[in-house]
Amino acid sequence: MQRILIVEDEHAIRGLLAFLLRPAGYEVLEADSALTAIDSVSGQRPDLVLLDRMLPDMDGLKVLKIWRTEASTSRLPVILVSARATEADRVEGLQAGADDYITKPFSRDELLARVQSLLRRTGNGSGGVPELREIGGLALDVRSLRVTVDQQPLPLGPIEFRLLNMFMSQPGRALSRQQILRQVWRANAYVDQRTVDVHIRRLRAALEPTGHHRLVQTVRGVGYRFADPHSARGARPSPSRSDSPEETPVRTS
Ligand code: CA
């Protein structure tokens, strides 16, 4: 059962959130202050956090920033819940690292849709998403957030991890930079498309020592694709070739 931590100092709202989430099949944990929430997360890791922005002891954004700077919680799925509904408030929340933003008052349907959507995107959804992806010796564990190459741990930054997770969950599919932005940077679309290229370069560099960078293919005029190992062109990469692989259209010149 997936566990959701509700961080909310107002008893009535906390009770309402729990009342809506429990029948939908979630285990609900509650925290009525920032410090309780931080304690709770460090003890029993939830699958998702609903974080109120205005808490009595600390700004919710500050709690979020604390989680984002800690390696163990940097990818914790967090939805900010706030009565502050202006665009500037949302942008501020997303830039602080929130995965999504819900404004009060919210409807039951919106709450459940956003929770389910985020759990799906972070690979914790109950829709049969495998927790371990393995392609050509490269393995990514969604649960422990670890990547290994031929059983050796491969340290990756949070964005590179999300990129790799996105690629490995849909091998063979050509993805535009816009699609990659949406999937990896999630609701935070205030990122330039060139940022995608920067992080692709970083991911390739991390994969290069074992030749797995060749799995991250450039699709000319579109974006990128992760090689499908079950198709002919996606066989285990050969480390001897160091050029960046491209899907080159037939040239008639
Ligand atoms: Ca509050």
Distance CA 91, CA 93 (A): 5
Residues of the chain with CATH 1.10.10.10: 132-248
What is the pLDDT at residue 173?
A: 86
What is the pLDDT at residue 178?
A: 85
Distance in Å, CA 70 to ligand 1 centroid? 24
Distance in Å, CA 67 to ligand 1 centroid? 19
Evaluated on CA atoms 227, 229, 233, 236, the torsion sign reads: positive
Sheet strands side by side (includes 216-219): 174-176, 223-226, 216-219, 246-247
Distance in Å, CA 9 to ligand 1 centroid? 5
- Beta-bridged to residue 247, according to DSSP, are 219
List all residues 6 or more positions away from 113 whose beta carbon is below 8 Å from its beta carbon: none
Q: Residues whose CB is under 5 A from ligand 1 (ion)?
A: 9, 52, 54
Pair 200, 222: CB distance under 8 Å = no
Instruction: Categorize the per-residue pLDDT at 48 as very low, low, confident or very high, splitting at 50, 70 and 90.
Output: very high
Residue 179 has pLDDT above 90, yes or no: no
Specify the CATH number of the domain 3-121. 3.40.50.2300
The residue that leads in pLDDT, 157 or 229, is 157
The residue that leads in pLDDT, 130 or 249, is 130
The residue that leads in pLDDT, 193 or 126, is 193
Of the CA atoms within 13 Å of residue 204, those in its CB half-sphere come to 21
Distance in Å, CA 77 to ligand 1 centroid? 20
Distance in Å, CA 32 to ligand 1 centroid? 9
Into which CATH architecture does domain 132-248 fall?
Orthogonal Bundle (1.10)
Which letter does DSSP use for residue 207 in this model? H
- Beta-bridged to residue 153, according to DSSP, are 148
> Helix 177-184 to helix 193-207 angle, to the nearest 10 degrees?
80
Distance CA 62, CA 224 (A): 35
Distance in Å, CA 81 to ligand 1 centroid? 9
Q: How many residues does the chain have?
A: 253
Backbone angles phi, psi at 52, to 5 degrees: -70, 145
List all residues 6 or more positions away from 60 whose beta carbon is below 8 Å from its beta carbon: 7, 34, 51, 52, 53, 54, 80, 82
Residue 252 has pLDDT above 60, yes or no: no
Backbone angles phi, psi at 161, to 5 degrees: -65, -45
Residue 156 has pLDDT above 70, yes or no: yes
* Peptide linkage before 105 cis (omega within 30 of 0): yes
Instruction: Categorize the per-residue pLDDT at 12 as very low, low, confident or very high, splitting at 50, 70 and 90.
Output: very high
Backbone angles phi, psi at 69, to 5 degrees: -85, -15
- 8-17, 34-43, 172-181, 228-237: which has the highest mean pLDDT? 8-17
Distance in Å, CA 194 to ligand 1 centroid? 38
The residue that leads in pLDDT, 196 or 251, is 196
Distance CA 143, CA 74 (A): 13
Mean pLDDT of 60-81: 91
How many other C-beta atoms can be found within 10 angstroms of the C-beta atom of residue 119?
20
Residue at token pair 């990469």: 237
